Amino acid sequence: MAEKKRVLAVMSEWGYWGIELVGPLKKLKTAGYEFDFVTPKGKRSPVLPPSTDPKYFDPPLGVCVTSASDAELVVEFEKTNELDRTLNLSELFPERPYFSAPDFLRKLEAYYEKRRMAQEKALEAYDAILLVGGSGPIVDMVNNQRVHDLVLGFHGANKPIGAICYGVATLVFARDFNERRAIISGKHVTGHCIEYDYHDGTGFVGTDFNMGPPPYVLEYILADAVGPHGQYHGNFGKQTSVIVDYPFITARSLQCAHEFGDRFVDVVTSGLKRSGW
């Protein structure tokens, strides 16, 4: 890896699950990597309250899912000023024009050139990207063209792309605009299995809107996106599920955060290409 040893964490402005950032962040920092943070419009990502509450009871799993030690790690991280320097992705990557835009062809050509330069800058600055999970990504990361373009840049350069929980959903939709083929086609991945999905109570920081269940079943869209030559691994019944199929490192949910960090470190320091199945 490059001497700069830096990771870019992509986060939602509608809330992140604490340990899904802090777990891998601590492992990567111990390995000598520094972090920058970016959200779609530059607003600091707020921590989802249940991820700092050891008494929070998760209905699908039937247990309190936030351990006291993880809650403490997240609270201590939130006390730092690290997220105060969050970058604005809309200032770093261009917006693709609508087909109905006047002088569309020239604008599309300009978009692709600006995108190329933005991808090159990101690749020069960072060794890997991390797509942080929680309910927030559903709102402003999963179907975000600029996030897609960032991911496509790292995929095209064959650089590591880590994703956990609903951050993994981004990999389903980050597709070349002309080819429209999933970049995880033929790959082995994991992510939120259907047994982990809420029947009710999907919420976001900054609104009292209760979405009910998630707007899609992540297991289904991942299984479809990997196609007949890839495989989705839910690993329901096992405490963790972390899959490495380079350049992707994917993790099912918060319980996997520390193992996810370990595998991420193995990828960027030891060249791990395949693990978990």
Q: What is the pLDDT of residue 1?
A: 40
pTM of the predicted model, to two decimals? Answer: 0.96
Cα separation of 225 and 219, whole Å?
10
264: CB partners within 8 A, 6+ apart: 24, 27, 28, 128, 130, 160, 162, 249
Q: What is the pLDDT of residue 3?
A: 65
pLDDT, averaged in runs of 10, over the chain (277 residues): 81 98 98 98 97 96 96 98 97 97 96 98 98 96 98 98 98 94 98 95 89 94 98 97 98 98 98 97
Bridge partners of residue 182, in order along the sequence = 175
Q: What is the pLDDT of residue 32?
A: 97
Cα separation of 11 and 8, whole Å?
10
Per domain, the residue ranges of the chain are 6-275
Cα separation of 206 and 122, whole Å?
29
SS3 140: helix
Q: What is the pLDDT of residue 2?
A: 46
Q: What is the pLDDT of residue 206?
A: 87
Q: What is the pLDDT of residue 80?
A: 96
SS3 41: coil
44 exposure class (CB count in 10 Å sphere: 0-12, 13-18, 19+)? middle
pLDDT in tens, 209-261: 899 999 999 999 999 999 999 999 999 999 999 999 999 999 999 999 999 99
Angle at CA of residue 245, ends 30 and 266, nearest 5°: 20
Contact (Cβ atoms closer than 8 angstroms) between residue 7 and residue 130: yes
| CA distances in angstroms from 6 to 44, 58, 104, 129, 163, listed in the order given | 19, 34, 37, 9, 16
Q: Does domain 6-275 have CATH number 3.40.50.300?
A: no
